[in-house]
Amino acid sequence: MAGYGITDVPTVGLDDAQLKRLADEDVNQAALMAEAVIHVSEQDEVLGPMSKVETHHGAGAYHRAFSVLLFNSSGELLLQRRSMDKVTFPGVWANSCCSHPLHSEDELVESDALGVKRAAVRKLEQELGISPDNVSIHDFTFMTKMRYSCRMNSDWIEREVDHILVIQADVEVNANPNEVSEWMWVSYQEMEALLLEQREGMNALAPWFRCIASRIMTKKWWDVSGNSSELKELSDDMIHDMGDISHMLPGAEGADLLTSIKEVKPLVEKRIEASLRESRHPRLANAMMHLIEGGGKRMRATLPWLVAKAVGDSHAGLLDIGAAIETVHNFTLVHDDIMDNDEIRRGRNAVHIEYDMPTAINAGDAMLAIAFERLVQAENLESKDVAPLVNRIAWMVRRVSEGQQLDIEFEERLDVSEENYIEMIEGKTAVMFLTCAEIGARISGADDEIIQLMADWGLALGLCFQLMDDLIDVLSDSVTLGKPAGSDVAQGKRTLMVIHALRQEDSAAKTTLLKVLGSGDDADPDDLRAGLQALEDLGSIQYARQMAESYHAKAHACLDQLGEGPAMRALRELTDFQLARIH
CA angle 471, 476, 482 (to 5 degrees): 110
As a whole number of Å, the CA-based R_g of the chain is 28
* Domain housing 486: 257-580
- Can you point out the beta strands (E) in 35-88? 36-40, 46-51, 63-71, 77-82
pLDDT (0 to 100) of residue 91: 94
Torsion, Cα 24 29 35 41, to 10 degrees, reads -90
Whole-Å CA distances, 352 to 204, 359, 481: 56, 7, 19
- For residue 65, what is the DSSP state? E
Residues 178 and 296 in one domain: no
Residue 477 counted as domain residue: yes
Residues 226 and 171 in one domain: yes
Residues 218 and 349 in one domain: no
Domain count, the chain: 2
Q: Which of 196, 222, 248 is the last residue of a domain?
A: 248
Q: Which helix (H) or strand (E) holds 484?
A: none
Strands 141-151 and 239-244 come out as parallel
Residues 127 and 151 in one domain: yes
Q: Which of 538, 523, 540, 537 is nearest to 486 (CA)?
A: 523
Residues 233 and 295 in one domain: no
Residue 1 counted as domain residue: no
pLDDT, one tens digit per residue, over 218-249 is 999 999 999 999 999 999 999 999 999 999 99
Q: Ramachandran region of residue 173, left (φ > 0), alpha (ψ -120 to 50) or beta?
A: beta
Report d(CA 375, CA 372) in Å as an integer.
5
Cβ density class 191-224: b for 16+ within 10 Å, e for less: beebeeeeeeebebbbbbbbbbbeebbeeebbeb
Residues 283 and 419 in one domain: yes
Report d(CA 150, CA 435) in Å as an integer.
26
Cβ contact 410:389 at 8 Å: no
Report d(CA 99, CA 163) in Å as an integer.
10
Give SS3 for 82.
strand
Q: Which of 248, 271, 300 is the last residue of a domain?
A: 248
Residues 225 and 341 in one domain: no
Calculate what percentage of the chain has a pLDDT beyond 70: 96
Residues 419 and 508 in one domain: yes
Residue 129 counted as domain residue: yes
Cβ contact 397:375 at 8 Å: no
Cβ contact 460:558 at 8 Å: yes
The CATH number for 475's domain is 1.10.600.10
Residue 87 counted as domain residue: yes
First to last CA, the chain: 52
Burial class from Cβ neighbours inside 10 Å (0-12, 13-18, 19+) for residue 15 reads exposed
Residue 3 counted as domain residue: no
Digitized pLDDT (tens) for each residue of the chain, 583 residues in all: 344 545 578 999 999 999 999 999 999 999 999 999 999 999 999 999 999 999 999 999 999 999 999 999 999 999 999 999 999 999 999 999 999 999 999 999 999 999 999 999 999 999 999 999 999 999 999 999 999 999 999 999 999 999 999 999 999 999 999 999 999 999 999 999 999 987 766 679 999 999 999 999 999 999 999 999 999 999 999 999 999 999 999 999 999 999 999 999 999 999 999 999 999 999 999 999 999 999 888 999 999 999 999 999 999 999 999 999 999 999 999 999 999 888 888 889 999 999 999 999 999 999 999 999 999 999 999 888 899 999 999 999 999 999 999 988 887 887 899 999 999 999 999 999 999 999 999 999 999 999 999 999 999 999 999 999 899 888 876 545 455 567 788 888 889 999 999 999 999 999 999 999 988 878 888 888 899 999 999 999 999 999 999 999 999 999 999 989 999 999 999 999 978 766 5
Whole-Å CA distances, 454 to 20, 87, 440: 40, 35, 9
Residue 496 counted as domain residue: yes
Q: Which of 216, 248, 280 is the last residue of a domain?
A: 248
Residues 484 and 340 in one domain: yes
Q: Which of 313, 340, 557 is nearest to 457 (CA)?
A: 557
The CATH number for 93's domain is 3.90.79.10
pLDDT (0 to 100) of residue 479: 47
Tell me the whole-structure pTM to 2 decimals. Answer: 0.92
Give me the residues paired with residue 204 across strands: none
Report d(CA 383, CA 292) in Å as an integer.
30
Residues 228 and 352 in one domain: no
Residue 10 counted as domain residue: no
Residues 301 and 185 in one domain: no
Report d(CA 261, CA 378) in Å as an integer.
20
Q: Ramachandran region of residue 135, left (φ > 0), alpha (ψ -120 to 50) or beta?
A: beta
Residue 11 counted as domain residue: no
Residues 50 and 117 in one domain: yes
